Chain A
Amino acid sequence: MANEFFEHRQNITRKHFLGKLSLGLGSVALGSLLIKDLFGSGSAEMLPPVGLPHFAPKAKRIIYLFQNGAPSQLESFDYKPTLIKRMGEDLPASIRMGQRLTGMTANQEKFPMVGSKFEFKQHGESGTWISELFPNIGKIADDICVIKTMHTEAINHDPALTFIQTGAQQGNRPSMGSWLSYGLGSENKNLPAFCVLLSRGKGNGQGVYSKLWTNGFLDSVHQGVQFSNSDERVLYLNNPEGADKLDRRKMLDELAKLNSLSFEEFGDPEIKTKVEQYEMAYRMQTAVPELTDLSKESDQIIKMYGPECLVPGTYAANCLLARKLSEAGVRFVQLYHQGWDQHGNLVGEMPGQARDTDRASAALIMDLKQRGLLDETLVIWGGEFGRTNYCQGQLTKDNYGRDHHPRCYSIWMAGGGIKPGMSYGETDEFGYNIVKDPVHINDFHATVLHLMGLNHEKLVYKHLGRRYRLTDVAGQVVNGVLA
């Protein structure tokens, strides 16, 4: 059979062979038209293109009120009467379960539990427990969702801050705002997509570093833009004396020509970013002044936020500016308020810290709500971890301190698709461990991205050979807090 087969084939002429060959190649060619990215660098899975939400979002913008230093959840949103009843008792090992301690308390012999010196009350129809330090937030209790079971692995500020801002304890990853700027872009092309406002209270402060709003490996266009705390909130924005807008425009055009020559020669993408930033700055000249001009604020606004809102550099002023920026389409506004690290003198320092943020945070929610913007703006208030239920240092009748505690802490969220008027999660009666519904930092990030209309597993960026995402390799959307 084989012989005959070959003999038969040998009788085929060149004409036939070429004819069949052309047929075959032709069909391959026709078929290849149907295949996208046959030789391209496209990834095997079809990932959605960036720039628009994956599905219809609830929130279009975020304002993140970050309380730097870690406010104590036991004096704010997590009411633990057991700690008051058992004040002074040593923390049982069965509760502590070998949690690693920071260097500050590792040498303590005893861990006396201490309850909150500040009273707790239930607020609103939802009956949310809030301490007396936050009366104004108590007034908006029916608009917020308190999550009591946030948890992290980090026990010190730098890794914890990096974790909650960039999704991992190691640095050099893009921050939340940068991911959102990358994934959704800026709604208003005249303002940066990601703005950062800093303020500082009188309590024991920890630093904030620009790596918390870095763009990581994403384009540097996505870096957070830090506003200054002087009267001129964006420094050097105005044209210098003697130069006007036309001069500025001519200068920028000539500069762009030079930069494009440079780009053609070197191909450095940072050059393009620089040109884009110059153009953004030019547009900001028009867009920013109407936002930072505080001279026309009505009495109602001043009374709502408190008179501090007119003093640049204060938390209240930052909240007011945040509302204006968000109203003007800035995708992610991040505030940092330092001073919450009450290792000691908690009774002395925390009321001041609370006073700094209480009225303005509540005012922000009310202000967004009355303008009809709260349903599309997600507001988050919280820190990087919680504080221990036992006292650090000397426990006296009138004062105590608390060390860092990663296993459970509280934050609250409002607006943008969050179910209002509820508390999510439960901690044990000692306020040490989580009993129900834990929310890990990765879960928190997944939920935030979900509210913004992004599938956290699909917003990726390929870097160093693998795909990175904000939630890295974990994170599940917490359905319980969604409206």
Chain B
Amino acid sequence: MKLFQRILSSLSFFIIVMLLFLLFFQNKVSLPPSLQSVGRMHPLLLHLPIGLLVISFILWLGKKNIDSASFQKIFIIVLQVTAFTATLTALMGFFLSREGGYDESILSKHKILGITTAILSYALLLIYQSFPEKKFVFGTTIALSLAAMIIGSHFGSNLTHGEGFVWQPLKSEKEVEEKITDSSSLYTAAIQPILRSKCFSCHNEKKAKGELIMTTEEKILKGGKNGPIWKTGDALNSHIIQNINLSEDDKKHMPPKGKPQLNQEQIDILFAWIQSGADMKKTMKDYAEGDTVKKLAAKFIHLPKEETEKAYSFAAASTSTIQKLSGPFCSVFPLSQSSPALQADFFVREKFDRKKLEELVKVKQQLVVLNLGNMPVTDADMKTISQFSNLEKLVLNNSMITNSALNDIKKLKSLQSLSLAGTQIDKNAATSFSQFDSLKEVFIWNTKISATEAEELQKQNKKIRFDRGYIPDENEILTLTPPLVKNEEFILSDNERIELKHPVGGVNIRYTTDGTDPDSTSSPIYNDPVISNGFVMIKAKAVRIGWYSSQIASFTFFKKGLRPSRAELLNQPNQKYKGSGATTLIDLKKGLAENFSDPAWLGFREQPFAAAFYFDTAQTINSISISYNESVQSYLMPPQEVEIWAGNEKDKLKLLKKTTVRQPTKEEKNIVRIEGLKIDIPQSNYKCYKIVAKNVSKLPAWHPGKGEKGWIFIDEIFFN
């Protein structure tokens, strides 16, 4: 017995300390399910400390009638059991409070009073054990514990069955608990509850102070002794608002002094609601997002969570199972953090592993979405798939299934979406479609089902939406893109050839090499790579029956030829377009026509272009090609005149050739391109060559800068 008593006392102490400790970390406590169950036994156990405290009190009051020895023994046991059950109840109550879902303010009051009761019960035990003669102390303590217990349990019962439980049958109104949603009226959701809690007790059918009844919509609009209690749109002059705002001592102040008063939030929303028209019917969703009334109302109402998760009836699979099923080419994952539903995707056709698909049977209940697009699945695989009883979406685009696959798939009772684009399904599958239970949409783009057959299908299966996808318009003719070159550089090495290509199949490339525009019917068709003899401009366009020919693309190629060992500029280029000096001309770096400020270009205006090129040993040169930028609108013109000098020493040069160059005409004013000028020279064998290219001295009349000097931009000189 003594051991039992000691255990009880120690346990009580133990529990109190633990409870206080857990209280300190309140929000961080997370309970395993077993303790949650323990918490739920709180309402079961709490009856004991209540009863025992009362008995303790009664016993203590009637102490005189029992002999002191027996009284002591019995009373100690009673106090010990009281303390133990009280503390244990408090601990269980704490566990239960972690579950949430209780009104916070009532809960905190109940919690504090409950714990107080438990601590006081333990204190009672200590006081009686250590100071049995201190009647006053003991008496106060037991009175306090009883008080705490009574008030605390009152709050506890409010938590369980709401306020006013006992008196409810006596009340006349039977309010229907309306579920508040977005489509409820703001009045019902936010305004009426305020009136109910603060006004109805005096302004109802049974008791109508000031002849005002507020309990029904009709009666509240009618008003009372002083007429309607509000003026729509004019809150300041509404009686209800005025009375609320009177000083509390004023006789007319509402609610009357001593009764529960309105708090500021409730006053604000009443004001705002009346001010905005006192509309009793307007629903929550009809109010605009930023509306004041709605924002204020939001504080009172707890609208249900926006996303109502679809509830699935099956349990979740374990994380380890899901992880084992995933692989580098197969992803299995839940639809969301708390959802038991799973999705499985397969990737990379060449790595498709049938076994992975078969393994999914381990989660056949949980699989809701299966994506096998572009995978080589066949009709035989459908046997596995038909086991996924809860499958809702199945993607089989571009797989190898045929009509017979549907015989297995139609067993899936929950299947809503089926994608069959790019498969061999044809009209013979029609009968299968009507045998599906829940099918809502089927994607049949690029299958063997024709337009008329699809219409038939749609008519026969009104509940299913058949999506045929994009059908090219027979009458729409598109324009091809221009041909492209395969060569990466526009400077060809000796044996390099020019290769053209076009991404669209069945296209013929018509091209020219002489600078004229190619013709769709007469120009040669590109078959083999083109050989060039120095500078060549290729113009090409793509042609295919049923398509508009492409625009003409032009490509300028130069041949690398012989490279001088040194170059020297005899005239200085314009300050802004110096490039990297003379070496720019022989560095084999070409510039772009659109960007002449690139340092690959040298620009000359004040002085004509003049440069000398030196070879270590005398070379045989047949032609010289000059690459220049023709951007007419930007004043970049071909040279007016070119002189080629040659010799073995710089001072002893002879004029070999002098040519004039064709200038662009008015029609060509928008040209922006790289042009080449190939000048054939009589076969010569020299070490040193000098080239002078004179820029246009007077721009033509039709040019915006007419009469001014033109520019000459050169990026490379080639010696072949």
Contacts and interface: CB of A to CB of B under 8 A. Distances in A.
Interface of A: 1, 4, 8, 19-20, 23-24, 26-28, 30-32, 34-38, 44, 48-49, 52-57, 187-191, 283, 286-287, 290, 294, 298-300, 302-304, 306-308, 310-311, 327-329, 363, 366-367, 369-373, 375, 437, 453, 476-477, 479
Contacts of B306: 477, 479
Interface stretch (B341-349, B672-680, B707-715): B341-349
B140 to A, nearest CB: 12
Contacts of A27: 13-15, 17-18, 21
A19 B11 CA distance: 12
A370 B469 contact: yes
Contacts of A308: 481
Contacts of B514: none
Contacts of B309: 55-56
B60 to A, nearest CB: 20
Contact of B336 (A30, A53, A369): A53
A369 B310 contact: no
Contacts of A304: 470, 472
Contact of A290 (B21, B130, B335, B349): B349
B339 interface: yes
B467 interface: yes
A57 B343 CA distance: 12
Given A188-B331, A303-B478, A290 B472 contact: no
15 contacts: A23-B14, A27-B21, A31-B21, A37-B28, A53-B336, A56-B336, A57-B335, A187-B345, A190-B329, A286-B348, A300-B446, A303-B472, A308-B481, A370-B443, A370-B445
B374 interface: yes
A24 B336 contact: no
Interface in B410-460: 417-419, 421, 441, 443, 445-446
A310 B504 contact: yes
Given A28-B17, A53-B336, A286-B351, 8 more contacts: A8-B131, A36-B28, A38-B28, A52-B333, A52-B336, A304-B470, A369-B469, A375-B417
Nearest to A296: B505
A477 B307 CA distance: 12
Size band of the interface chain B makes with A: 35 or more
A427 B311 CA distance: 41
Interface string B22-45: 100101111110010000000000
A35 B443 contact: no
B522 interface: no
A190 to B, nearest CB: 6
Given A31-B22, A35-B22, A303-B478, A372 B350 contact: no
A150 to B, nearest CB: 16
Contacts of B441: 372
B337 interface: yes
Interface centre among B137, B289, B348, B418, by most A CB within 10 Å? B348
| Closest 10 pairs between A and B when the two form their complex, measured CB to CB | A370-B469, A372-B419, A310-B503, A27-B18, A370-B445, A31-B18, A372-B443, A27-B14, A303-B472, A27-B17
B591 interface: no
Contacts of B421: 370-372
A55 B443 contact: no
A363 to B, nearest CB: 7
A292 to B, nearest CB: 13
Contacts of B25: 35, 38
B479 interface: yes
Given A28-B18, A287-B348, A327-B374, A52 B504 contact: no
A34 B35 contact: yes
Given A36-B28, A54-B337, A328 B347 contact: yes
B10 interface: yes
Contacts of A287: 347-348
Given A53-B335, A188-B345, A34 B14 contact: no
Interface string B349-369: 111000000000000000000
| Residue of B336, B341, B476 contacting most chain A CB atoms (<10 Å) | B336
B479 A307 contact: yes
B478 A306 contact: yes
A190 B395 contact: no
Interface in B577-633: none
Given A44-B27, A366-B469, A372-B421, A189 B348 contact: no
Nearest to A27: B18
Given A370-B470, A371-B445, A35 B14 contact: no
A190 B348 contact: yes
Nearest to A288: B348
Given A8-B130, A28-B21, A329 B478 contact: no
A55 B29 contact: no
A190 B347 contact: yes
Contacts of A363: 470
A425 to B, nearest CB: 12
**Highest count of chain B CB atoms <10 Å: which of A49, A55, A299, A372:** A372
A24 B17 contact: yes
B397 interface: yes
A34 B31 contact: yes
A365 to B, nearest CB: 10
B484 interface: yes
B373 interface: yes
Contact of B373 (A30, A54, A371): A371
Contacts of A55: 307, 309, 336-338
Contacts of A437: 289
B328 interface: yes
Contacts of A38: 25, 28
B621 to A, nearest CB: 36
B480 interface: yes
A4 B443 contact: no
B638 interface: no
A300 B470 contact: yes
B28 A329 contact: no
Nearest to A480: B289
A38 to B, nearest CB: 7
Given A35-B28, A56-B336, A290-B348, A307 B480 contact: yes
Nearest to B484: A311
A56 B347 contact: no
A189 B351 CA distance: 13
B131 A4 contact: yes
Interface string B300-341: 000000110110000000000000000011010111111101
A54 B32 CA distance: 22
Interface in B472-488: 472, 476, 478-481, 484
A310 B421 CA distance: 22
A329 B349 CA distance: 13
A477 B683 CA distance: 79
Contacts of B339: 56
Nearest to B25: A35
A417 to B, nearest CB: 11
A20 B13 CA distance: 8
A300 to B, nearest CB: 6
A367 B470 contact: yes
B411 to A, nearest CB: 20
Given A28-B18, A189-B328, A307 B28 contact: no
B457 to A, nearest CB: 16
A450 B450 CA distance: 39
Contacts of A367: 470
Contacts of B35: 34
Nearest to B23: A31
Contacts of A24: 13-14, 17
A375 B351 CA distance: 27
A37 B10 CA distance: 29
A1 B137 CA distance: 10
A127 B137 CA distance: 84
B216 to A, nearest CB: 33
A172 B130 CA distance: 68
B449 to A, nearest CB: 13
